Structure 1
Amino acid sequence: MQRQHISSGSPFEEQIGYSRAVVAGDWVFVSGTTGFDYATMGISDDVVQQAEQCFLNIQTALQQAGASLDDVVRVNYVLPDASLFEACWPVLRKHLGRARPAAMMVSAGLLDPRMKIEVEVTALKAR
């Protein structure tokens, strides 16, 4: 099975040694994705805006892989402050409400203190 590596252009990928996403057959594995706007390398202070940007970044990677948010079967959320998770629910429902993937949320520290949410997804491309 061939693997395709997808990059967002984030300098973190080169510095750390990972890909934004890896396609293996019909599976797409999208790395933990934060609310950075990779065009500007800026990040909002607002967790809801960060969540929205996470999904824009994930959607871009999935499109490059020939998939969409509707193909997501698993999602993991990581937030340093679990009390902020509920504020993100409308954004999560907006982007994954049709797919309704299996989900998990963990409260843990993230690499950069500006990061308030990180989202990882696995998708199975529709045939």
Structure 2
Amino acid sequence: MTRKLISSGSEFEAKIGYSRAVVEDQLVFISGTTGYDYSTMSISDNVAEQAEQCFLNIQSVLEEAQCSISDIVRIRYILPNRDDFENCWPILQKWLGEVRPAATMFEARLLNDSMKIEIEVTAKKNSPKAQP
């Protein structure tokens, strides 16, 4: 059994005691990912734009874990305002339309009021292509 920790470099990982992702054998567990653009250290005030950035951030972590978006088997969406979820659907379809992982959305306050969506992912390396 192998275990690899992936860090985003955030100071909060050490302060709070978590990793951006944990790779355990073939499974990749990505912690809640928000819509921060780490290249500019900014966040959009638009929920759909934040969802897009979440997926860009998740894709980067998956690549470091040697897998891809198509390997996602479970996804959780957390929004402080459930009414915003439908605005994200086109982004979710774009990224996951062919993948179709098991999914759950729930409403909860997030760490910062500027965050409008947080996404948590579980992936399995080398997952076979989905069958409808």
TM-score bucket of the superposed structures, by smaller chain: over 0.9
Residues 20-40 of structure 1: CA deviation (Å, up to 9, x unaligned) = 111000000000000011223
TM-score scaled to structure 2, two decimals? 0.92
Note the C-alpha offset of 1:97: 1.2
Check if 1:27 corresponds to 2:27: yes
Aligned residues: 127
Note the C-alpha offset of 1:64: 0.2
Cα 1:59–1:73 shift into 2, 3 Å: same
Match of residue 46 from structure 2 = 46
Note the C-alpha offset of 1:101: 0.1
Note the C-alpha offset of 1:14: 2.5
Please, which runs of 5 or more residues in structure 1 have no aligned partner? none
Please, which runs of 5 or more residues in structure 2 have no aligned partner? 128-132
Cα 1:12–1:39 shift into 2, 3 Å: farther
Residues 27-85 of structure 1: CA deviation (Å, up to 9, x unaligned) = 00000000011223211111011000000000000000011000000000000000000
Q: Which whole-Å CA distance do the structure 2 matches of 1:31 and 1:86 have between them?
A: 23
Match of residue 109 from structure 1 = 109
- Aligned identity (percent) is 61
TM-score scaled to structure 1, two decimals? 0.96
Check if 1:93 corresponds to 2:93: yes
Q: Which whole-Å CA distance do the structure 1 matches of 2:91 and 2:11 have between them?
A: 26
Match of residue 56 from structure 2 = 56
Residues 88-112 of structure 1: CA deviation (Å, up to 9, x unaligned) = 0011111111110000000000000
Match of residue 126 from structure 2 = 126
CA RMSD of aligned residues (A): 1.0
Cα 1:49–1:86 shift into 2, 3 Å: same
Note the C-alpha offset of 1:121: 0.5
Match of residue 67 from structure 2 = 67
